Amino acid sequence: MAAGSTRPEEFDKLAIDATSAVPLYRQVRAVLEDQLARGVYAANRPLPSTRYLSQTLGVSRNTVALAYQELTSLGLVESQPRSGLYPVALTRGDGPRRIRATPHARGVDWAARLAARPGESNQLPVTRAPAFPDWREFRYPFISAQPELKSFPVRGWQRAAVEALQTPHLAYSVRDAGDLDDPLLVEALCNEILPPRGVHAAPDEVLVTSGAQQGLSLLADVLLSPKSTVAVENPGYVDAWHICSRIGASVVPVPVDQRGAAIEQAPGFDAIYLTPSHHHPTNVTLSLPRRRILVDELEERDAFAIEDDYDSEFRFRGQPTPSLKSMDTTGRVVYIGSFSKFLSAGLRLGFVVAHRDVIAALRAERHHRSKHLPGHLQRAMGIFIASGEYHRTLRGQRRRLRASWEVLTASVRRYLPMAEDAFPPGGVSLWYAAPDGIDCKRWALRAREQGVLVADGSRYFFPGTWRNNYLRIGFSSLPTDLIEPGVRALAGALPR
């Protein structure tokens, strides 16, 4: 390769730093890129030869050759037979160019662009649902959103995950499935998970989601609009309120009492979001008479219901309550389930059961977000269920949580001042009512200083209906033997 009319002063040996962490060939490439950007080489002037440039810069010819290869790959130079490398004529829209900052250069006003996003103006003035990712820093984490690590079925899940990477499962674990879900997991849902809840569905009526949250978000995008009015429980699940309001839908609260959401007091709605098995956060169950009222209301109003059945398996006295979906004969109930509460929230696995037309629309919407969930995760869960490990784990978790519930209710009655003494036998938390005059938000903050993590109940109330005499005391995230001393520590943090 000819050196052309290259002048030695065009290269500065000081531009190459042999002690730098940046590879030498990239330093050489940067020097050449700078020269190309400054127009040092005319269209008819070849770049210097590898021999000349290696001697001038004090590097090997292989280093220079590698830099030239990258410039060629970037489309900045091109080879002409028996002549050498020449600059590629660039138009304004071509290839990468060296960008130089100027004193008056303006950055992007990201705040303005983010504020202009659809749905931002529709946010309700409430916080997000608490997750408490720092729960392990507290000795007594009285929360329900995190796992109790010792109860996680490590060996069973490990076996399922390893088997999912063996024949014949490997193909399903690593494939690009397009819009499809794992057939083994869908079969397990239809045959083993849903029937005990009174739900019977065909495979084309089921969609696997990244937790119940994604299912709810997809449903809102597909079924709601700014013209929709969505009724929600109050107190209730604040993330559901956010998801619906971001669409532009009107969100209206329905009061909750000891028989669940007061359906008979619900204002006009064309959709309603409910947690009927164990109301979030009070744990009460929607009574059978109110379920019947709701079914009639849905048909009369030409409305539909979203049933979030996040922890129905955890009932400690009597049989689990059949789902609202089990009473649905017209397809007006959309059912959401999750593996988060009994297994692990970190797995992010849930499912939606609905009419096949709704599932097809959800599948199409999911395609533009994530296509499908990780194949290995789905196949491992399918194997975990089919092997019987799921049901063994569920029985063990139910025994553990029942023991924890019994210790917690006894400890709360013994150590904490009581305004109400009704704790439904199920779920993964207690809804504790303090006597009037006790500031539970302040109490929860003081408890943190004593190593006790607990959620104040005010965050679960709809705007304008705020109450500050409740705590949500979870019991699924800590060992049973820490509950009684934890409640004593909580009592010690009570504001005086």
The mean of the pLDDT values for the chain is 88
Q: Please give the pLDDT value at position 74.
A: 86
DSSP, res 287? P
The helix/strand/coil state of 142 is strand
- Sign of the torsion angle spanned by Cα atoms 474, 457, 235, 438: positive
- pLDDT band at residue 2, thresholds of 50, 70 and 90? very low
Mind listing the pLDDT tens digit for each residue in 296-341?
Answer: 999 999 999 999 998 777 776 666 678 999 999 999 999 999 987 7
Residue 1: predicted pLDDT: 44
**What integer pLDDT is reported at residue 359 of this predicted model?**
97
271-274 and 229-234 beta bridge pairing:
parallel
pLDDT tens for 70-103 read 998 888 888 888 788 888 875 555 544 444 555 6
Nearest to 5 by CA among 42, 58, 33, 32: 42
- For domain 24-87, give the fold: Arc Repressor Mutant, subunit A (1.10.10)
206 strand-pairing partners: 353
pLDDT band at 13 (very low <50, low <70, confident <90, very high): low
The answer to whether 231 and 267 have CB atoms below 8 angstroms apart is yes
- What is the C-alpha to C-alpha distance for residues 120 and 114, in angstroms, rounded to an integer? 8
Looking at the DSSP bridge assignments, the partners of residue 454 are 142
Residue position matching structure tokens 């955890």: 314
Tell me the C-alpha to C-alpha distance, in Å, between residue 294 and each of 257, 358, 408, 463. Answer: 16, 21, 33, 24
Count CA atoms within 13 Å of residue 413 on its CB side.
10
Fold equal for 152-391 and 394-493: no
Tell me the one-letter amino acid at 356.
R
Q: What is the CATH number that goes with domain 394-493?
A: 3.90.1150.10
Q: What is the 8-class DSSP label of residue 164?
A: T
Cβ 304 vs Cβ 229: under 8 Å: no
Other Cβ atoms less than 10 A from the Cβ of 177: the count is 15
Quick: pLDDT tens for 379-389. Answer: 999 999 999 99
User: Using alpha carbons only, how large is the chain's radius of gyration in Å?
Assistant: 31
Give the β-pairing of 452-456 and 429-433: unpaired
Cα–Cα distances in Å, from 401 out to 137, 151, 429, 456?
22, 10, 10, 22
Whose structure tokens read 């705590």? Answer: 471
Say if residue 194's pLDDT is above 60. yes
Q: Residue 170 CB: number of other CB atoms within 10 A?
A: 15
> 238, 460 in Cβ contact below 8 A?
yes
> What's the pLDDT score for residue 3?
46
Take residue 49 and report the two structure tokens written for it: 């030869």
What is the CATH T-level fold of the domain 152-391, as seen in this structure? Aspartate Aminotransferase; domain 2 (3.40.640)
Digit-coded pLDDT (tens) for 253-264 = 999 999 999 999
Domain boundaries, the chain: 24-87, 152-391, 394-493
What is the reported pLDDT for 261?
96
Q: Which residue in this structure is represented by tokens 């960008």?
A: 99
Name residues whose C-beta falls within 8 Å of residue 426's C-beta, 6 or more positions apart in sequence: 278, 283, 285, 311, 314, 315, 316, 317, 405
Of 309, 474, 320, 485, give the one whose Cα is nearest residue 398: 320
Three-class SS state of 430: strand
Q: Is the pTM of this model over 0.75?
A: yes
Task: Give the list of residues 6+ apart from residue 22 with CB closer than 8 angstroms, or none.
Answer: none
pLDDT of residue 101: 52
- 210 contacts 184 by C-beta, under 8 angstroms: no
pLDDT at 486 over 60: yes
Sheet holding 304-308: strands in order across?
206-209, 350-353, 333-338, 304-308, 271-274, 229-234, 250-257, 260-261
Q: Where are the alpha helices (DSSP H) in 224-344?
A: 238-246, 288-301
Residues 361-367: what's their mean pLDDT?
Answer: 95
DSSP string, 22-44: S-HHHHHHHHHHHHHHTT-S-TT
Q: What is the pLDDT of residues 418-450, one digit of tens each?
A: 878 788 888 889 999 999 999 999 999 999 999
Strand ranges for 298-381 from DSSP E: 304-308, 333-338, 350-353
Mean pLDDT across 148-176: 94
